[in-house]
């Protein structure tokens, strides 16, 4: 499955803690997302799904995720139909091995293009 991974203005990766979640772009935006930290050993922190604005807002106040904020937290998201989200989230968790999140859908993974 091929999706479009969103970036911020200037074709730059969005920073989780400063992306404007009130922008109209996020109205009714549902799908999957990836949060990762920068630095020499950049790594995926969390993958998930749902209403993107709500999920990212929640993650801004999650201490477990914010533990990595000194390395700068980045985020990207893609619109994925509801029926395919569990499979896509499962694939992302299998491939990216996020540091946070131990309960991923017990379902057949759906391959998806990665953002990088």
* Secondary structure, 3-state, 70-111: HHCEEEEEEECCHHHHHHHHHHHHHHHCCCCCCCCCCCCCCC
pLDDT at 102 over 80: no
Rounded distance between C-alpha atoms, residue 31 and residue 110, angstroms: 14
Q: What is the mean pLDDT of the chain?
A: 95
CATH fold, domain 9-96, is GIY-YIG endonuclease (3.40.1440)
**Closest residue by Cα to residue 97 from 49, 56, 43, 52:** 43
pLDDT at 103 over 80: no
**pTM exceeding 0.85:** yes
pLDDT at 99 over 80: yes
What confidence tier does 3 reach under pLDDT thresholds 50, 70, 90? Answer: very high
Rounded distance between C-alpha atoms, residue 116 and residue 106, angstroms: 26
What confidence tier does 43 reach under pLDDT thresholds 50, 70, 90? Answer: very high
pLDDT at 44: 97
pLDDT > 90: percent of the chain = 93
Q: Across the strands, what pairs with 34?
A: 47, 76
What confidence tier does 104 reach under pLDDT thresholds 50, 70, 90? Answer: confident
pLDDT digits (tens, 9 = 90+) for 15-39: 999 999 999 999 999 999 999 999 9
């Amino acid at each position: 499955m091929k999706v479009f991974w969103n970036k911020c203005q200037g074709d730059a990766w969005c920073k989780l803690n400063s992306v404007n979640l009130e922008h109209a772009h996020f109205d009714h935006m549902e799908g999957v997302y990836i949060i990762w930290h920068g630095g020499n050993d950049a790594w995926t922190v969390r993958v998930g799904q749902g209403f993107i604005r709500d999920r990212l807002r929640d993650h801004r106040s999650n201490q477990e995720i914010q533990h990595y904020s000194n390395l700068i937290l980045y985020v990207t998201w893609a619109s994925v139909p509801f029926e395919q989200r569990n499979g896509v989230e499962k694939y992302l968790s299998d491939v990216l091995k996020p540091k946070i999140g131990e309960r991923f859908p017990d379902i057949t993974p759906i391959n998806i293009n990665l953002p990088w």
